[in-house]
Amino acid sequence: MSQFYGQHVSKTLAEKIEEFCRAPQEMTSLADEVAIARMNCAESLKLAAPCFDPSHPQAAKMNDTVKAQAIALLQESLNHVRFMVESMAKIENSARDKVSLSQMNYFVQAVMRIVKNRCEEAGQGDLAKLIGEQLSQIKLPEDPNMDTKVSLEFD
């Protein structure tokens, strides 16, 4: 979290934000949503099971309308799972071999925390501020086709 915002939030909120920032790739992941959709689909399958198995104990209790609704619910659940899986695949394919802005921000913030802490430990708080000001002036290129590979060299 940036120092500006950090001074305006409670410690527990700051900790929660830091927790969310630890894994920025999860911000675009749909794995949890796909798992929930699949659990819902499994429940729909349980409801529709008597429609496909005449020996099921509930089969005799279901009239045609209830069977049609159960099958429609199952179909809708299956379609939702398919949609979620396709969406997740699109996100993963589009992100392959790319670094998202949130991941880049996470990396930069982590580097800035290290620089700040090390400078403060060495009694060089002003140096940390100067480095932060210099790094904040770096602008991302506007041309998405431009080569933006970053090479860091340390002496």
Rounded to whole angstroms, the Cα distance separating 98 from 30 reads 18
Range with lowest mean pLDDT among 4-18, 30-44, 101-115, 117-131? 4-18
The pLDDT-based confidence of 22 (bands split at 50, 70, 90) is low
- How many Cα atoms occupy the beta-carbon half-sphere of 57 within 13 Å? 1
Of 82, 47, 83, 53, residue with least CA distance to 68:
47
Residue 150: inside a domain, yes or no? no
Residue 146: inside a domain, yes or no? no
Residues 80 and 41 placed together within one structural domain of the fold: yes
Full-model pTM? 0.49
Of 20, 9, 8, 12, residue with least CA distance to 109:
20
**Range(s) of the domain holding residue 66:** 29-95
26-53 per-position pLDDT tens digit = 556 778 888 889 999 999 999 999 999 9
Tokens of 39: 């659990």
Q: Please check whether residue 148 is in contact with residue 140, taking contact to mean a CB–CB distance below 8 angstroms.
A: yes
Residues 84 and 132 placed together within one structural domain of the fold: no
How many residues are there in the chain?
155
Of 75, 76, 67, residue with least CA distance to 49:
67
Rounded to whole angstroms, the Cα distance separating 88 from 82 reads 10
